[in-house]
A and B are shown apart, each in its own frame.
Chain A
Amino acid sequence: MYRMHFSCMCVCLMMYSTHLIAQTCQSTLSGQVLDADSGKPIPFVSITVDSTDFAAISDENGNYMIDGLCKRKYSLYCSHIDCEHLAQEIAIEGAQVHKDLYLHHHQDGILLQDLVVTGQANRISHIGAVAEVAKEDLFQYQGKSFAETMSKIPGVSFLKTGSDVVKPVIQGLHSSRIVIITNGVRLEGQQWGVEHAPEVDPFVADEIQVIKGANSVQYGSSAMSGVVVMDSKPLPTQAGLHGGLNLLGNSNGRSGLMSAYLEGKLKGKLPLSGRIQGTIKRGGNVESPDYFLANTGHREENFSYSIGLKSDFPLQAELFYSQFNMRQGIFRGSHIGNSVDLKNAIERTEPFPVAEFSYHMGRPYQYVNHELFRAKALWNISRHQKMELVYSRQYNKRQEYEYHKPGGIYKDDDPTPQQKLEITTHTVDLNMSHHLSKDISGKVGIFGMRQNNTVDRGKLIPAFTLNNGAIYWVERWHQDLLPLDVEAGLRYDYMQQEMQVVGLDQSDFRKYNQFSGNLGLSYYSSTISRFRLNIGSGWRAPAPNELYANDVHNGIGTFEKGNPLLEPERNLNLNLSFTYGKAPFDLSISVYHNRFSHFIYQYVEAEPTLTISGSFITTSFAQANAALSGLDAQGSYEINQHIKANLRTSILYARNLEQRDWLPLMPANRLSGGLQWEGKASGKWEEPKLRIDLVQVFEQNHVPAINADPLDPPGAYLLANLNASWGLKLAKERSLQFGLSLDNMLNNRYRDYLNRFRYFADELGFNATGRITFHF
C-alpha cells in the first residue's frame, strides 16, 4: 500500500478515548520494536505515552516494557530520530498486553542515530521535501532509463534525445543544475549537454530519492533545484548466499535485458559481506506509430561489485566499484546540415532516410564508458560520535562517431571518433557526526575534489583541470515530544579551474569563493498533517561549453558561441510542502520559488553566422535574474480495500525577469490520474497488482518571444499506461515476480517539447514490456 514518504510508523490500532476509566493500574505493555522491512529488532527507540510520564526505551534486542498502565486507551508516541511524532493508539485491556511495533525507517535518518543499524550513513536527514520512488514502482520501471524511473515523482520530468538518452529534470532544471549521487558519490561525467544521459545503471539502485530544493550545503555546488540520490541495497547482515535474476523484454525496439546479482555474507567470525552485479542490454531500432527510427539501437554492459566489513568492531569499511558501458545509435534522421536542412526536416511527414527494423548500429553513434570506485571507512567513536572517510575515483570517456564528413561519409567500421573527451575525478570527504546535546545533532565535514578533463578529439569544450575544497556544517535540533524540527547548514567552497582554450595563448584561470546555506523547518500541525519549509541557497560555476562553445551544433542547425565573461549563478530556493494522511485520503502539496541571479540562458544573436555550408542561426549565452516558481501535488483516495485512485499534477512558471520573458526549454504543465487495484493473496501467490494511468501533458505556451527554435512547441498529448505485477513465494525465501507494462496503449502520435528529436520524428508508439524477476 502507499507508504508515507520519509516516515516511520508504529502500527497500532484503536481509537483514542478521552474518558479516563478509573481502574487499578497494574497492566504491563511489552513487546519488541522491529524493522518492518528486515524484521530485525531496533534498539534505543524511545516510546512515550501521551499525557503521562510513562516512557520506555527499547533495549539491545529491541524489547521494551512499560508497566503501571491502567486499563484504558492510550496514545503512544514512538519517538525516534526518524520517527515523526505520529501518535498511535493502543487499548490496554488485560494485565499483560503484548504489542510489537514495526518501523519503516529510512536510511537517511540513520546518520543522526546513535548507532548504525543498516545502510548508508553518509547522508544527512532531510527536513526538506523528499520524494522517493517506491520499491514497487522501481520494479515496474525496471528496464527504463534511470531518469524515466523518477518521473513518477511530481515535479520530476525528463529531457530526451531520442528514447535512450534521458536526463532527469527537477522543478524545471537539469544537466549541470542538479546533482546525481550514486552510492554517496557525485556523478561526474560530461553533463552539460542535453544528449549526455547520466551514466547510471538503474539496476544498481535499490532506492531512488529526489530531494527537492537547493541542497548545496551537503552535496556541493550546482544542486540548485534538487538532488537525485541513488543507493544500492545495503550489504547483507545475515550469513548466507542470496541473489536475483531479472529478465526483461520490450516490444518497441525488440530489446532484451538481463540483470543478475549475487550477494552473501561469510559464516563465522569474519563479518565480511559482498555483492556482484551485472546488466546486459541489447536493442534495435525503435518505432513511432507510423515508422521506424533509423539507427536507434542500444547496447549496454554494466558491472559492479561491493565488499563490506561491518561488525561491532568500531571500525567498518566498504568498497564499491561499478562500470557502465553504453553504445547508443543516434537517429540518422536527426543529423542535418544547416538551418535550411532543419526546416526541410521539420516539413517532412516522414523522417529521411526511411528505415526498417534492424539491430545493426552504424554511424552516427555515441560510446560512453564510466567507471566509479568508492572506498569508505567508518569509525564509531562512541554512541554519539561517528567519523567517516570516503574516497572516490571516477573516470568517464565519451566518444562520438559522426556519420557525415565534408564531401563524404565515415565508414561504419572506422574506429576513429570525431569527439573524444575523458574526465577523471578524485574526491575525498572526511566528516564527523556528533551530538552537541541530547536534542542537537549534526555533522561537520571537509571535502576535496580534483578533476581533469582532456580533449583528445573535437573542440566542443576546452581541456581543463579543476580543484575544489569545501567545509560544511549542519546541525539539527529535534526534541522528543515537540512536533518541531529545525535544521541549519552552512558550506564554504573554494574552486579553481584552469582551461586550455584553443586559440588563446595563455590558459583561462578562474577562482570561485562561495558560501551556501540552508534552513529547514518541519512542523506537525496535528498527528496527521505536517508542514515543511526549506530555504536553501546554491551556486554553479559556468560550464565549459557556456564559456567557450564555438561551433556548429549538429542536429539543431545553430551555431553556438560561448561567453567567457559569464559569472557563477546563485540561487535561493524556497520550498514549502504540506502533507496530510488520514485514511482514506492522502495528500501532498509542495510549492516552490527558486530565485536566481546571474542565471545563464541562451539567446539568439541578431546576425546569423555565415559558414561554407550556409547560414546558421547564432546563439550566445547571457545572464539575467530569473525565477522559477511552481507547484507539485499528489493525492490519493482509497475507494475500498482493494482500489485506490490517485491524481497528480505539476505546474511551472519560469521567467527571465530582466527580459520579461519566458525561459526556454522548460517542461510543460501536466496532470495525471489513475487507478490502482490490489487483489488478495492466495496461498503462495502474493497480491496481484494492476495499475492504469492517464497522463495529460499540456502544450508548452510559455516560450521566449524571440527564439532560436525553428519549430513551435508541439501540442498537448494524452498517454494511457498500464502496469501489472504478480508475485509468487517459493520455498526457502525464494520468490518469483512477473510484470507486464503497456506504454502508450492508445499508440498515440505525439511529440514532446523536451525531446530534441521532435523536429524530425514522433515519439515512441505502443510498447509492451514483460518482466520476470527471481530472488533467492
Chain B
Amino acid sequence: MKSISHFAALLLIASLTIFSSCEQDDPGTNPHDQELITSVQVHFADSVAGTMQTFQWRDLDGPGGANPQIDTVSLKANTMYNLTIDVLDETKNPDDTITSEIRTEALAHIFLFKAIGSGFSFTQNYLDFDLHGLPLGLSNTFFTGDPASGKIRIILKHESDKVLAETTGETDLDVQFDAVFK
C-alpha cells in the first residue's frame, strides 16, 4: 500500500514536469532590422551661377567594417551659397529619409557648423527654425571665406539645450569634410 501511494506521488511529480509552463524561443525575425544613418549629403546651390553641387559622407555598412567614403568639398571662395542637408539610411529600400524625421522633430535637433584649419573660414546662417523660433539647420546660407583649404565639420545634436548646443545633448552626426575654397 505504502509503495503504491508513493509511486503515485512520484508519477504526479513526473507529470508536473510536463505541465510547467515553457516559454519557447520566438521564431527569428530580421536581426538586421536596425535603424541607422549611413549617409549625409550636403547640397551647395549657387543661385547666381545657377549651379548645384552635392558632396557625400557615406558609411554604408555602419560603424566599423569598411572605411567611410568621404567626398572633398570644392567651392568658389568668397561666394554665397544655399546649403541644404539630407540625412539618409541607404540600407533600406527605398532609402529611408531621416531628413524628414529630423524636420518633424525640429524642436529636438540642431545642426552646428565649424571651420577647421588656419586661414580657412566661412560664415553660416540658419534659414529654418523650429516652433519656438530656435534654429534647426537643414537649410542655411553659407558664405565661403578667402581661398584656403581646411575641413568643414557638421554636427547634428539631439535634445540639447540649443543655446549651449555643443556641450549638451546626444550627438547624432559628427562628420568632417576636407574642403578647398578656390
Q: Give me the interface of A with B, judged by CB distance under 8 Å.
A: 269-272, 307, 309, 311, 313, 315, 317-319, 321, 335-338, 340-341, 344, 347-348, 352-353, 369, 371, 373, 375, 391, 393, 395, 397, 404-409, 418, 422, 424, 452, 454-459, 463, 502, 550-552, 559, 561, 609-616
Q: Is the CB of B38 within 8 A of A307?
A: no
Q: Is the CB of B170 within 8 A of A611?
A: no
Q: Does B37 contact A (CB under 8 A)?
A: yes
Do A458 and B3 contact each other (CB < 8 Å), given the known contacts A337-B172, A344-B168? no
Q: Is the CB of A317 within 8 A of B10?
A: yes
- Give the number of A-B contacts (CB < 8 Å): 163
Do A456 and B28 contact each other (CB < 8 Å), given the known contacts A321-B20, A408-B101, A610-B67? yes
Q: Is the CB of A307 within 8 A of B16?
A: yes
Q: Is the CB of A613 within 8 A of B172?
A: yes
Contacts of B170 in A (CB 8 A): 335-337, 341, 404
Q: Is the CB of B34 within 8 A of A459?
A: yes
Contacts of A552 in B (CB 8 A): 63
15 A–B contact pairs at CB < 8 A?
A313-B3, A336-B171, A338-B174, A348-B167, A397-B23, A406-B89, A406-B98, A408-B158, A422-B26, A454-B25, A454-B28, A456-B26, A610-B67, A611-B62, A612-B40
B156 CB to closest chain A CB (Å) equals 8
The CA of A550 and the CA of B61, in the complex, are separated in Å by 12
Do A313 and B63 contact each other (CB < 8 Å), given the known contacts A319-B17, A409-B108? no
Q: Is the CB of B108 within 8 A of A611?
A: no
Q: Does B95 contact A (CB under 8 A)?
A: no
**Contact flags B57-68 to A (C-beta < 8 A → 1, else 0):** 101001111011
Q: Is the CB of A458 within 8 A of B105?
A: no
Do A613 and B173 contact each other (CB < 8 Å), given the known contacts A269-B5, A270-B6, A456-B31? yes
Q: Does B87 contact A (CB under 8 A)?
A: yes
Q: Does B22 contact A (CB under 8 A)?
A: yes
Contacts of B37 in A (CB 8 A): 406-407, 612-613
Q: Is the CB of A422 within 8 A of B2?
A: no
New A-B contacts (20) at CB < 8 Å, excluding given A270-B5, A271-B6, A407-B37: A269-B1, A270-B9, A317-B13, A319-B13, A347-B167, A353-B159, A371-B21, A371-B23, A373-B22, A406-B172, A408-B105, A454-B26, A455-B28, A457-B31, A457-B34, A550-B64, A611-B59, A612-B57, A612-B173, A614-B171
Q: Is the CB of A612 within 8 A of B17?
A: no
The CA of A395 and the CA of B22, in the complex, are separated in Å by 8
Q: Is the CB of B171 within 8 A of A272?
A: no
Q: Is the CB of B171 within 8 A of A613?
A: yes
Q: Is the CB of B25 within 8 A of A422?
A: yes
Q: Is the CB of B63 within 8 A of A340?
A: no
Do A502 and B31 contact each other (CB < 8 Å), given the known contacts A375-B17, A409-B108, A612-B57? yes
Which among A309, A406, A407 has the highest number of chain B CB atoms within 10 Å?
Answer: A407
The CA of A612 and the CA of B37, in the complex, are separated in Å by 7
B93 CB to closest chain A CB (Å) equals 17
Contacts of A457 in B (CB 8 A): 29, 31, 33-34
The CA of A373 and the CA of B13, in the complex, are separated in Å by 13
Which among A391, A551, A614 has the highest number of chain B CB atoms within 10 Å?
Answer: A614
Q: Is the CB of A609 within 8 A of B22?
A: no
A739 CB to closest chain B CB (Å) equals 34
B90 CB to closest chain A CB (Å) equals 11
Q: Is the CB of A455 within 8 A of B31?
A: yes
Docked complex: B90-124 residues within 8 A CB-CB of A: 98-99, 101-102, 104-105, 108-109
Do A309 and B6 contact each other (CB < 8 Å), given the known contacts A352-B168, A395-B22, A408-B105? yes
Q: Does B32 contact A (CB under 8 A)?
A: yes
Q: Is the interface of A mostly helix, strand, loop or mixed?
A: strand
4 cross-chain pairs, A with B, having the tightest CB-CB distances, nearest first: A614-B174, A337-B171, A407-B98, A406-B37
The CA of A559 and the CA of B36, in the complex, are separated in Å by 16
Q: Give me the interface of B with A, judged by CB distance under 8 Å.
A: 1-3, 5-6, 9-10, 13-14, 16-17, 20-23, 25-26, 28-29, 31-40, 57, 59, 62-65, 67-68, 87, 89, 98-99, 101-102, 104-105, 108-109, 158-159, 166-175
Q: Is the CB of B59 within 8 A of A405?
A: no
Q: Is the CB of A406 within 8 A of B23?
A: no
The CA of A457 and the CA of B9, in the complex, are separated in Å by 44
Contacts of A612 in B (CB 8 A): 37-40, 57, 59, 63, 68, 173-175
The CA of A407 and the CA of B159, in the complex, are separated in Å by 11
* A337 nearest in chain B by CB position: B171
Which of B9, B25, B36 has a CB less than 8 Å from the CB of A424? Answer: B25
Which of B5, B23, B102 has a CB less than 8 Å from the CB of A408? Answer: B102
Contacts of B23 in A (CB 8 A): 369, 371, 395, 397
B159 CB to closest chain A CB (Å) equals 8
B91 CB to closest chain A CB (Å) equals 11
The CA of A552 and the CA of B64, in the complex, are separated in Å by 9
Contacts of A348 in B (CB 8 A): 167
Contacts of A344 in B (CB 8 A): 166-168
Contacts of B105 in A (CB 8 A): 407-409
Contacts of A373 in B (CB 8 A): 17, 20, 22
The CA of A272 and the CA of B169, in the complex, are separated in Å by 60
Q: Is the CB of B16 within 8 A of A551?
A: no
Q: Is the CB of A452 within 8 A of B25?
A: yes
Contacts of A318 in B (CB 8 A): 13
Contacts of B28 in A (CB 8 A): 454-456, 463
Contacts of A315 in B (CB 8 A): 6, 10
Q: Is the CB of B31 within 8 A of A559?
A: no
Which of B5, B36, B167 has a CB less than 8 Å from the CB of A406? Answer: B36
The CA of A311 and the CA of B3, in the complex, are separated in Å by 11
The CA of A348 and the CA of B160, in the complex, are separated in Å by 13
The CA of A208 and the CA of B175, in the complex, are separated in Å by 52
Contacts of B36 in A (CB 8 A): 406
The CA of A610 and the CA of B158, in the complex, are separated in Å by 19
Q: Is the CB of A311 within 8 A of B63?
A: no
* B36 nearest in chain A by CB position: A406
A391 CB to closest chain B CB (Å) equals 8
Do A340 and B171 contact each other (CB < 8 Å), given the known contacts A408-B108, A552-B63, A612-B40? yes
Q: Is the CB of B26 within 8 A of A311?
A: no
Contacts of A615 in B (CB 8 A): 174
Q: Is the CB of A611 within 8 A of B5?
A: no
B104 CB to closest chain A CB (Å) equals 8
Contacts of B89 in A (CB 8 A): 406
Do A551 and B63 contact each other (CB < 8 Å), given the known contacts A338-B174, A408-B102? yes
The CA of A614 and the CA of B174, in the complex, are separated in Å by 4
Q: Is the CB of B31 within 8 A of A458?
A: yes
Q: Is the CB of B64 within 8 A of A551?
A: yes
Which among A406, A455, A502 has the highest number of chain B CB atoms within 10 Å?
Answer: A406
B138 CB to closest chain A CB (Å) equals 11
Contacts of A463 in B (CB 8 A): 28, 31
The CA of A194 and the CA of B108, in the complex, are separated in Å by 31
Contacts of B67 in A (CB 8 A): 610
Contacts of B101 in A (CB 8 A): 407-408
The CA of A318 and the CA of B99, in the complex, are separated in Å by 60
Contacts of B104 in A (CB 8 A): 408
Q: Is the CB of A407 within 8 A of B13?
A: no
* A557 nearest in chain B by CB position: B171
* B39 nearest in chain A by CB position: A612
A254 CB to closest chain B CB (Å) equals 27
* A424 nearest in chain B by CB position: B25
Contacts of B159 in A (CB 8 A): 353, 409
Contacts of B34 in A (CB 8 A): 418, 457-459
* A395 nearest in chain B by CB position: B23
Do A407 and B25 contact each other (CB < 8 Å), given the known contacts A338-B174, A458-B31? no
Q: Is the CB of B9 within 8 A of A407?
A: no
A517 CB to closest chain B CB (Å) equals 34
